[in-house]
Amino acid sequence: MRTLCIDIGGTGIKGNVLDITGTALAERVRIETPRPATPTEVIATAVEVGRRLGAFDRISCGFPGVVEHGVVRTAPNLDGEWNGYPLADELEKRLGKPCRAANDADLHGLAAIEGHGVEMVLTLGTGMGSGLYIDGRCVWNLELGHHNYEGDETYEDRVSDAVRKKIGNKKWRRRVGAIVSRLAPIFNYRRLYLGGGNAARLIPADLPANVAIVDNKLGITGGLKLWAEDRTIVP
Q: Give 35-75 pLDDT, tens digit per residue.
A: 999 999 999 999 999 999 999 999 999 999 999 999 999 99
The third-level CATH classification (topology) of the domain covering 3-106+219-227 is: Nucleotidyltransferase; domain 5 (3.30.420)
Average pLDDT over residues 140-163: 96
Listed residue (102, 87, 119, 118) closest to 195, CA to CA:
119
Which amino acid appears at position 67 of this protein? Answer: V
Model confidence over 176-235: pLDDT tens digits?
999 999 999 999 999 999 999 999 999 999 999 999 999 998 999 999 999 985 554 455
- What DSSP string describes 109-143? HHHH--SSSEEEEEEESSSEEEEEEETTEE-----
Q: CATH homologous superfamily of domain 114-215?
A: ATPase, nucleotide binding domain (3.30.420.40)
**Residue 95 confidence (pLDDT):** 97
Mapped to the 3 state alphabet, what secondary structure does 9-56 carry? Answer: CCCEEEEEEECCCCCECCCCEEEECCCCCCHHHHHHHHHHHHHHCCCC
**Residue 232 confidence (pLDDT):** 47
Name every residue whose Cβ is closer than 8 Å to that of residue 162 and which is 6 or more positions away in sequence. Answer: none
- In the chain, residues under CATH classification 3.30.420.40 are 3-106+219-227, 114-215
Please count the residues of the chain. 235
CA 43, CA 11: separation in Å to the nearest integer? 14
Q: Would the pTM count as exceeding 0.85?
A: yes
Enumerate the β-bridge partners of residue 74.
none
Average pLDDT, the chain: 95
Q: Are 146 and 156 in contact (CB under 8 A)?
A: yes
